[in-house]
């Protein structure tokens, strides 16, 4: 019997901000994992929410699918990433 590979979970924190870069609280964020499955979260007062994958064996990519909330329209082309580790829409998460 071959021992099973060590499994892990990826966590991705998303910040939703408006055109003036002010945080958007209460926004619903939906995303998908390259391994399959989706995750949902709602942003807090700072415009942040964290999404978690299921159990993984290897590296994974997370992609933002939709963002919705009262008073704004989601524009995927306006996505950006201040720390530069993604294109603002998808993020590669290496296995630890």
Is 2 inside any structural domain?
A: no
In a domain, 4, yes or no: no
Residue 28 lies in a domain: yes
78 occurs within a structural domain: yes
Number of domains in the chain: 1
Q: For residue 78, what are the domain limits?
A: 11-93
Tell me whether residue 65 is in a domain.
yes
Asked whether residue 88 is domain-assigned, the answer is yes
31: burial class by Cβ within 10 Å (0-12, 13-18, 19+)? buried
Q: How confident is the model at residue 1 (pLDDT cuts 50, 70, 90)?
A: very low
76 located within any domain:
yes
Confidence band of 6 (pLDDT split at 50, 70, 90): confident
Tell me which of 87 and 41 has the higher pLDDT.
41
Dihedral angle, C-alpha 66, 17, 84, 52, nearest 10 °? -50
The single residue listed with the structure tokens 């720390």 is 83
């Amino acid at each position: 019997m071959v021992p099973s590979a060590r499994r892990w979970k990826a966590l991705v924190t998303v910040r939703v901000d408006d055109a003036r870069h002010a945080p958007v609280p209460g926004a619903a964020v939906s995303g998908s994992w390259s391994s399959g499955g989706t995750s949902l979260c709602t942003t807090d007062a700072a415009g942040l929410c964290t999404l978690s994958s299921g159990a993984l064996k290897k590296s994974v990519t997370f992609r933002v699918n939709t963002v919705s909330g009262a008073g704004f329209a989601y524009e995927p082309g306006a996505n950006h990433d201040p720390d530069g580790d993604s294109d603002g829409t998808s993020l590669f998460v290496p296995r630890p």
